[in-house]
Amino acid sequence: MNKVAAIIGAGVIGGGWAARFRMTGWQVRLYDPSPDAVAQIERVYQNALASVPQLVDGAMPAEGELVVCGSVEEAVSGATWIQESVPERLEIKQSVFREIQTHCSEDATIGSSTSGFMPSQLQADALRPEQIVVTHPYNPVYLLPLVELVPGAPVSAARIEQAKAILGEIGMHAVHIKKEIDAHVGDRLLEALWREALWLVSDGIATTGEIDDIMTHSFGMRWAQMGLFDTYRVAGGQAGMRHFMEQFGPCLTWPWTKLMDVPEFNDKLVSTIVSQSDAQSGHLTISEMEQIRDRNLVGFLKVLKDNDWAAGKMFNQWLADAPKPVSQVALDQPLALHSARVLPSWVDYNGHMTEFRYSQVLTNASDAILEFVGMDKAYIDTGFSYYTVESHIRHLGECKLNETLTVHSQLIAADDKRMHVYHSIQNERGEEVVTGEHMMLHVDRAANKACPVNEPMKSRLAALLAAQADLPKPTALGRFVGAPR
C-alpha cells in the first residue's frame, strides 16, 4: 500500500491527524493556505513527540516525511488517504471535496473530521459520493484513539473495511456508525451534558470550576475506563444491569434534567462562563494546559495498557500488530533490537536521563532478546518465563533530552535454565553511555521454580550462542561496584 496521506487543513485537528500518520511512518502532504499552517503542524507534532513514545515499549516506527504543498492538487495526487479538516461550514467542505476529487485517485478514501455534518450532506453534489466518509476523531488526535466512522449509503462495504484497516494501522479504533445522524454519537452525548452544565451555571447552582471538579473527581474517571453502560451495570451490584434499570428507571420521568430546553444564550451568560473559566484556569496558557492534558492522558493510558483494558487494550493490540523495526539481525554480531528516545519525563533536575530510565531501557532490551529467541506472549501463556536474578549497570556518560539511544545486545552464555546477556547503550554519535549485565533464570511460573527451557526456544538460544561465540567478550564483563578499571 502507498503510505501517503494528504492533510487538508492544519488546525488543531488537522495537526493531530498529521502527527498520527507521520509518527506511524506515512508521508504526510499538507495543504493549508494559512501562513501559520506549518508552525501549527510542528507545534502539535512536538506535543505528540513528547507524549506518544512514552506509551511505546520499543522503538517508534521510522518517522514519515512532511511535505508542505502549495495546492490541493499537489497534496492529493497519488495519496491513499485524504483527511479534510477545514472550518465547519458545509459550503466550504463541499467546495473542498469537489477540488479534491478533481485531482485525487478514485481509489483514495476521503475522510472528513466534521463533528456535526452527516455524510449525505458532505456527499451532496460530489463527483464521487462513494469516496467520502465521516471520520470524526477526538482531540488530541495523536493520543485519543477513537474515530467515529460514518460512511453513509453510497459507500461500499469494501471501502469501509479498507478505511478500518488504515485507521487501525495508525493506532486508531474505528467505531462504524451504521446510521447517519446529526453530530454522530459522541458529540450528541457531550452536547446533552454541555446543555445541562450551562443551566447549572446560569441558575447559579455551581461554577465552571465546581462542575469540572465534580466530573474529574468522580464519574469522569469511571467513564475513562468503563464507559456509561458498563459503569451502570456495575452499579446494579451482583444483579447487574437489570437491577440498575429497575432501580433507577423511574427517575427518567423526574425533572432532573432540562435536556433540549436551554438557557438564553446572551451576553450575561457568556460573561459569567468566561469570567468563571478565567478564574478557574486563567493562570495557565493554552500550551501549558495542552501539556498537562497530554501528561495526564499518558498516565491514564499507561494504566489501561498495563491492565489490557479499554483504550489500553486497543493500544496493546496496535503495538503487537505493528512491524517491529530491527536495525540489524546478523546473529554473529551484537543484536540492535531496541532503541529509545530520551523523553521529557525521563530527565531529572540536572537535565540528564534518570537512573531508573536506564533500567527501563535495559529491561526492554532484555525483553527484545527474549522475544527474538521465542519468548512471546504465547510462550508466556503456557506458564513459563525468564526472571532476572542479578543485574549490574555502569554509567559511563550522560544522556540528554531528545537523544536517541540504541542498545547492542550480546548473549554471553546460556544453558537449560540460565541466560547471561550483556547490553551496551550507545547514543546517536555511537558513544557508549551505559552498560548492563544481567543473569536471567527460566521459571515455571505456576511452581515458582527454575526449570529447563522448552523447544523451540532452546534451539534458538543455542543457535544465537553459537553464532556469537567468536565475538570478543566485553572488557567490563563481570565487573562489580568499585572494581578497579
Sheet with strand 4-8: strands edge to edge: 66-68, 27-31, 4-8, 81-84, 109-112, 132-137, 146-150, 173-176
pLDDT in tens, 256-293: 777 778 788 889 988 998 999 999 999 988 889 999 99
pLDDT classification of 57: cutoffs 50, 70, 90: low
What is residue 60's DSSP assignment? Answer: P
pLDDT at residue 168 greater than cutoff 90: yes
The lowest-confidence range among 4-18, 82-96, 200-214, 299-313 is 299-313
Distances in Å between the Cα of 142 and the Cα atoms of 18, 48, 171 are: 9, 6, 9
Nearest to 460 by CA among 402, 375, 396: 375
Tell me which H or E stretch contains 291: helix 286-306
| Mean pLDDT for all residues in the chain | 91
pTM of the prediction?
Answer: 0.75
DSSP 209-256: HHHHHHIIIIIHHHHHHHHHHHHHHHHTGGGHHHHHHHHHGGGGGSS-
Between helix 37-51 and helix 12-23 the angle, nearest 10°, is 50
Residue 326: the pLDDT is: 45
Which structural domains are found in the chain, ordered by start?
4-176 (3.40.50.720), 190-306 (1.10.1040.10), 326-467 (3.10.129.10)
pLDDT classification of 307: cutoffs 50, 70, 90: confident
- Which residue, chain included where needed, has cell 521510522? 62
Tell me which H or E stretch contains 262: none
Distances in Å between the Cα of 141 and the Cα atoms of 103, 135, 384 are: 27, 11, 38
pLDDT classification of 202: cutoffs 50, 70, 90: very high
pLDDT in tens, 101-119: 999 999 999 999 999 999 9
Contact of 82 with 93, CB cutoff 8 Å: no
**Taking the CA of residue 111 as centre, how many other CA atoms within 13 Å lie in the half-sphere pointing to its CB?**
28
pLDDT in tens, 449-472: 999 999 889 999 999 999 999 999
pLDDT in tens, 469-485: 999 999 889 887 877 76
Nearest to 318 by CA among 108, 141, 165: 165
DSSP 64-121: PPEEE-SSHHHHHTT-SEEEE---S-HHHHHHHHHHHHHHS-TT-EEEE--SS--HHH
- Is residue 264 classed as helix, strand or coil in its secondary structure? coil
- Is residue 271 classed as helix, strand or coil in its secondary structure? helix
pLDDT in tens, 410-448: 999 999 999 999 999 999 899 999 999 999 999 999 999
pLDDT classification of 327: cutoffs 50, 70, 90: very low
Torsion sign, CA atoms 118, 122, 125, 128: negative
pLDDT at residue 227 greater than cutoff 80: yes
Dist CA 374 CA 461 (whole Å): 9
Residue spans of beta strands (DSSP E) within 165-216? 173-176
pLDDT at residue 58 greater than cutoff 70: no
Residue 264 dihedral angles phi and psi, to the nearest 5° = -60, 125
